[in-house]
Structure 1
Amino acid sequence: MKRLGIIGTGIIAHENYKGIEQTGKAEVVALCNRTYSKGVDFANKYGLKCPVYSDYRKMVDEVKPDIVLINTPHDLHEEMFIYCADRKIDIIIEKPLSDTAASSEAIVESANKNGIKAAVCHTQRFNTAFITAKKFIKNNNLGKLIAISDFITYNYFWEGRPEWFLEPARAGGGIVMNYGVHQFDRVHYMAEGKTVSLFAHIDWEKEGIAVDSSYQIMGIMDNGVTYTIACTGYTGPFANGMELRFTGGILRVYLCDTGIESYGVYYGDNNFKNFVKLPLVESENRPYYNEMKAIMDYMEGSTEETPVSVEYAAQMVKLVEAAKMSHERQVSINTL
């Protein structure tokens, strides 16, 4: 069993910890949070009998965990990653890999220089609906994938959201960084291609808020697939899904119930009057468990490849920066 140190005990740390705990493959040996009392609260909530720190360096140097899980504001990722990698500690890090493409590349360089194992938490590809859709595509002849439309609508600026998410310098931007990397990842995961060019429009329409609040992006991949991703952060109801259009049929993936659509995967072609809901490959949707099981298998050596590498995650951050550049210049940006 691996000895795990957790850096950052905010909102996402709870989901990541529960996913790891369910695997039974790691024991938490230390916690660190800048606000010490919140680290203590985290330990008490889960009955963790381990030391709590407010300085991650002290935690790493005193406890010497096998793995650290980094769940901190984006602008701290590079500093924390490099400090741990230099001490030959394997790393699990929340997405986005960092707040800028340059910082992400520094992380990649550090991981390779130190020869550590590293994995990035791009959780949505581990959702049962996406796993079901991926398996259905593999097992059925749907023809050529032509286009993907991916969408999210969400009240991004909900009361109580940690303030650093609304500070451009800390978050690396607003919704286009935080959710854009999700949408870029799931489009690339499903299409199995690389973006060669994109065109984007980004909005700042939330009064009194400095970060961006919505975006629309069109992309072309090296395998000929075209895609659109759109996200608006102003209001609910929450909607989250994807449509994949093949020459032989159409797949729709819904990641939540909206009152119009219900969670699941739907398929239709010329033989169907309406879309048919497909059976899910798992009875329970546990994306954090699925993700952490794959990551811990890699950390233990059961599998040779990381589920999501730092190199790949750095590319997702680069695409976000390309989208920002496209908006600023109002031109398509080559991304390879």
Structure 2
Amino acid sequence: MRYRIAVIGAGQITEGHLMAMNELQDRLKPVAIADIRIDRAEQLSETYGMIAYEDYREMVLREKPDIVVITLPHHLHMEAAIFCAEAGCHILLEKPMALNAKQCDDIMDAVRHNNVRLMVGHTQHFLAENMAAKKFIKNEAKRLGQLVMMNDTRHKAYYNTDRPAWFLDKQRAGGGILFNLGSHSIDRLMWLGNARIVKVRASISHYGPAGDVEGSGVVFLENESGVPSTIVQSGYGGVPRNELELIFTEAMMKVIPGKGVWLSRNGVYEQIPVPREDSPFVLQFRELLASIERECEPECSMDYSRDVIAVLEGIYRSHELKAEVNISTPMLSEELGHI
């Protein structure tokens, strides 16, 4: 079956999805794109042979796509996802899933009530280096020994002039570097650590030149297996860095997306082979299609994606309280819904 697909939002990430559709044109047919800036929608529609709309609701109701890709600012995720689910569309929703766990619950209710599938675009699962690390951890467990800690570091100039203004507005973005890039870090700690995060203790800073979101943070986390982790992120000036180090009882592993995977041997790191993979956008679509056709949850399921949001809420709450926050307590998730 070839699925008719529409896109909501014509921002920076949209073209990655459209290029992936072209690679999967035997399975996906892009039919329409909507953006409140109609000029952006028209530009992409001309390149990829689609109809441009200004109002995504009109587009969904008129075009009746099988799948909708939502690439909107974070505060619009819930409204758009619920609308598309109620229209009977399957959904690929850009991460993070929503602003808080309560909004995630509302999305999940709508998706399940309307018997459609929703996948959140946690691309960490589809990066070649992370996939190679995940496979090595599974297949070489005896060689690695027991996982004892993980350290995730991400430094990136967050206040660059080409970043859309909504990213620096907490009401629209949900938070700053930790909400946006930190969701990637939480995702890969949960995925490669194979366990939910249940405790966090965080300290964040607000020294950015614009907006009201945090520009850095240090987070201590513990998963349900008792394994501790750290997330260290800065959006101020400095040297870009994006790496995860996993420390086992018998070895250490370093993962740098786009560069490689290294394993310790005789006191030094040695690079290990990473198989070539299709683009994360292509792999995401394949996973979503498999979920639709097999009538099962995708790997980046709604429950999993809600867990990421719950951890993010816990990070901000921990900083506010200057105390450790227990993510696993259901009452806490309800309490955090207002943040």
User: Does the alignment reach a TM-score above 0.5?
Assistant: yes
Q: 1:268 maps to what in 2? A: 264
Tell which deviates more after alignment, 308-317 or 64-73. Answer: 308-317
User: How big is the shift at 1:173?
Assistant: 1.4
- Whole-Å Cα distance in 1 between the matches of residues 125 and 217 of structure 2? 21
Distance 1:180 1:273, change over 3 A: closer
> Is residue 3 from structure 1 mapped to residue 4 from structure 2 by the alignment?
yes
After superposition, the C-alpha distances for 1:179-225 in whole angstroms (9 at most, x for unaligned) are 11111001000000111111011110113431111111111111121
Query: How does 1:1-336 map onto structure 2 within 5 Å?
Result: 1-24=2-25, 25-44=27-46, 46-48=47-49, 50-140=50-140, 141=142, 142-256=144-258, 263-269=259-265, 272-282=266-276, 286-299=279-292, 301-302=293-294, 304-336=296-328
- Whole-Å Cα distance in 2 between the matches of residues 9 and 304 of structure 1? 29
User: How big is the shift at 1:295?
Assistant: 2.1
After superposition, the C-alpha distances for 1:128-157 in whole angstroms (9 at most, x for unaligned) are 111111111122121111100001000011
User: How big is the shift at 1:23?
Assistant: 2.7
The 8 Å contact of residues 156 and 241 in structure 2, kept in 1 or not, is answered as yes
Query: Aligned partner of 1:268: which letter?
Result: S
Aligned length: 324
* Aligned CA-pair RMSD: 1.5
The 8 Å contact of residues 4 and 31 in structure 2, kept in 1 or not, is answered as yes
The 8 Å contact of residues 185 and 231 in structure 2, kept in 1 or not, is answered as yes
Distance 1:15 1:47, change over 3 A: closer
- Whole-Å Cα distance in 1 between the matches of residues 179 and 84 of structure 2? 24
User: How big is the shift at 1:167?
Assistant: 1.2
The 8 Å contact of residues 326 and 332 in structure 1, kept in 2 or not, is answered as yes
User: How big is the shift at 1:236?
Assistant: 4.3
SS of corresponding position for 2:275: coil
Unaligned regions of 5+ residues in structure 1, if any? Answer: 257-262
Query: Aligned partner of 1:233: which letter?
Result: G
The 8 Å contact of residues 168 and 211 in structure 1, kept in 2 or not, is answered as yes
After superposition, the C-alpha distances for 1:82-133 in whole angstroms (9 at most, x for unaligned) are 1111121111100011122221221111112222111000012211111111
- Whole-Å Cα distance in 2 between the matches of residues 161 and 119 of structure 1? 25
- Whole-Å Cα distance in 2 between the matches of residues 147 and 217 of structure 1? 13
Query: Aligned partner of 1:267: which letter?
Result: L
Tell which deviates more after alignment, 206-215 or 81-90. Answer: 206-215
The 8 Å contact of residues 21 and 30 in structure 2, kept in 1 or not, is answered as no
- Whole-Å Cα distance in 2 between the matches of residues 294 and 209 of structure 1? 36
The 8 Å contact of residues 20 and 293 in structure 1, kept in 2 or not, is answered as no
- Whole-Å Cα distance in 1 between the matches of residues 163 and 213 of structure 2? 13
SS of corresponding position for 1:37: helix
Percent sequence identity is 30
After superposition, the C-alpha distances for 1:41-80 in whole angstroms (9 at most, x for unaligned) are 1122x331x2211111111111100010000011111111
The 8 Å contact of residues 19 and 291 in structure 1, kept in 2 or not, is answered as no
Query: Aligned partner of 2:150: which letter?
Result: I
Q: 2:331 maps to what in 1? A: none
Query: Aligned partner of 1:288: which letter?
Result: F
After superposition, the C-alpha distances for 1:8-59 in whole angstroms (9 at most, x for unaligned) are 0101111122223323321011111111111001122x331x2211111111
- Whole-Å Cα distance in 1 between the matches of residues 323 and 170 of structure 2? 23
- Whole-Å Cα distance in 2 between the matches of residues 47 and 188 of structure 1? 36
User: How big is the shift at 1:244?
Assistant: 0.4
Q: 1:259 maps to what in 2? A: none
- Whole-Å Cα distance in 1 between the matches of residues 233 and 278 of structure 2? 23
Q: 1:260 maps to what in 2? A: none
- Whole-Å Cα distance in 2 between the matches of residues 17 and 314 of structure 1? 26
Distance 1:303 1:101, change over 3 A: closer
Tell which deviates more after alignment, 204-213 or 87-96. Answer: 204-213
The 8 Å contact of residues 196 and 307 in structure 2, kept in 1 or not, is answered as no
- Whole-Å Cα distance in 2 between the matches of residues 19 and 186 of structure 1? 23
State TM-score, norm by structure 1.
Answer: 0.93
The 8 Å contact of residues 243 and 255 in structure 2, kept in 1 or not, is answered as yes
**Hey, which bits of structure 1, 4+ residues long, moved more than 4 A?**
none
State TM-score, norm by structure 2.
Answer: 0.92
- Whole-Å Cα distance in 2 between the matches of residues 179 and 333 of structure 1? 21
The 8 Å contact of residues 133 and 265 in structure 1, kept in 2 or not, is answered as yes
